[in-house]
Amino acid sequence: MHFTTILATMAVTVAAAKDRRTFATLQHKGRGPLTTCRADPIVSPGGPSAHVHAVMGASNFGFNVTGESLRQSKCTTAKPKADMSSYWVPSLYFKDPETGLLEPVEFFYMVNYYFFDATDDDIKAFPLGLQIVSGNPTLRSKPSHVSDGALQLDPSKPIQAAQITCPRPNYNPPSWPDNSDGSRAGLGDPINKGAGYGFPFQNCDAYASPMRVDVHFPSCYNPAAGLTNYKNNMAFPTPVGGKLNCPKGWIHVPHMFFETYWNTPKFLPRYQHLLGKESPFVFSNGDATGFSAHGDFISGWDEEELQHIIDTCDAGHAGLHNCPGLKHGVNPDSESCNIECPIQEKIAGTLDKLPGNNPIAGWKYGGGNVSPAPAPAVPEPEPVVEKPELETPKSSSAPAIKVEPSTSAAPAPAPSSSSAAAPPPPSTTLVTVPAPAPTKVEESPVVEKPEPTSEAVLPPAASPKVRIVYDTVTVWQTRTVYEAPAGPTQSAKSGAEISGFKAAGCYKDQSDRVISGKILPNIGQVSNTACVEYCSSKGFSVAGTEYGGECYCGNSLNTVEKLDDSKCNMACKGDASQKCGGDWALTVFTKGGAAPVKAEKRHVHNHNHLAHHARIPSRHLHRR
């Protein structure tokens, strides 16, 4: 990939940055997300939040987070080492139209834009610990001021900072019904046919482009309100003669824009008959409309490094990590930063209700905007172990807990008029469980994957009379790297036996999982022995280990692609003498020694999302 042109233009002067918008993307590496968890240290500090979030950023994320604690994190998903911030959004679920059951939609990846808008102000780095929330999590119906699906960031009018983008090869029929008033369906953007307000009623299936949730963040910070007063400390800048200016006495900080991609096409065979009629997707907070799209941020940046980026860099889609002169350097793509959620509850697999027991509301489900707090979830029993496996150290401020139902749920206060309002956490009883000991992050083998080029269309600078349409161009470039294979080990060879299970060899895994009966059970430090014994105890006949520390149970393989044993070459974290699969490679054990194939072949809609939007992808963006 060549960045000659882009890199040549990265160094800019402060004056130039004021006269025109510059930007750079924050890209993440490793197997995202950092965690998927019912935690929100801004809205629900000290305990479980009302709904599940997909979290990116620094490893000290937990129930209680400060800028200082984030700076002490052992690792981060962000490529620039100087960024120890936390970024999170609500998770997405699919509601099966036949069974009514819920399943999590796979998180593909997140990109965080840092726009440095044209302004008469001096743009400053985020103060350490600044908390920002954008979007309204309480919405289940269209606000009266919204007339179409366009963005509206002018603070002189009601703000509409979130959209959902649905890339498709063509927009006939439209993704949002043309005659919609928002009461039974979403609203399309009158200028950008690929974007709208609320969930689309079509399959988002452009090449390498699943459904995307977009959230803009305000960039004017009021120091009088304080770092943690998220309902009142931020505002969007005012358009003035083609520039965006903050009120006097406020601090102009970078304008962030979150893009979060979800693998919605995977479910198309199960809801194809509903296309053009309704959406089967629901946010983890129970919103079936998509109107409540929102995002949260706590700054853990090294302020000096971020200020250097603001003043000197216009890296665009090449990424913040390619800005010149970064004193803290860049995290290698080969490292992954992941933590376990401190709540032991079922949030994946097939569910009869959303975690946190959030009722589904909006459109055909009825119900208005959120007012009372949802009842607490009753998690399915999971084995409680003293030291569950961790890929990276967990914050000492967030001990593992079990969530037990209380006898009643306290009502929440009336929702605030602020766009950042959110429901309080459910009533829960917190039972402390000993925090697990940290384990060392292991580097994965170097594997190159297709990389996009860095060419993209830069959005125009805002002005009072111009509606901004955000769009990008996808360009592909592929590179092949050949590696010398590592030798196979006894535990991966066909015929090796553990507790009555025989090794069937090394098999390729994929994003919707080849072994899917029980995904990532909490069994502590993973080894082939521990995984086989757990799967056997639960009545499964197939066990698989992957990436040195992941366990999967089932009764068959959904698809079969045999790999050379050398691809399953990663030492087990629970027993270094055994090899527990590799990168997208499963060491498989079965009761009979052969790999049973699922009789009915499932339709798999494979997206190589890595090239969408001309990003520079990390190696493991498809992983959980």
Per-residue pLDDT tens over the stretch 34-46: 999 999 999 999 9
SS3 535: helix
SS3 359: coil
SS3 423: coil
Residues of the chain with pLDDT under 50: 1-17, 372-492, 600-624
Residue whose structure tokens are 């119906």: 141
Q: What is the pTM of this model?
A: 0.63
Contact 34, 74 (CB under 8 A): no
Beta strands, E only, 102-145: 102-104, 107-116, 131-135
Taking the CA of residue 273 as centre, how many other CA atoms within 13 Å lie in the half-sphere pointing to its CB? 4
What pLDDT, on the 0 to 100 scale, is given for residue 370? 66
What pLDDT, on the 0 to 100 scale, is given for residue 371? 53
Q: Tell me the β-bridge partners of 440.
A: none
Residue 579's contacts (CB-CB under 8 Å, 6 or more residues apart) are 488, 489, 491, 492, 528, 568, 569, 570, 571, 572, 587
Q: How far apart are CA 424 and CA 411, in angstroms?
A: 9
> How many C-beta neighbours within 10 Å does residue 431 have?
12
DSSP state of 277: T
Residue 366's contacts (CB-CB under 8 Å, 6 or more residues apart) are none
Each residue's pLDDT tens digit, 193-205: 999 999 999 999 9
What pLDDT, on the 0 to 100 scale, is given for residue 599? 52
**Percent of residues in the chain assigned helix, strand, coil, to nearest 5:** 10, 25, 65
What pLDDT, on the 0 to 100 scale, is given for residue 496? 81
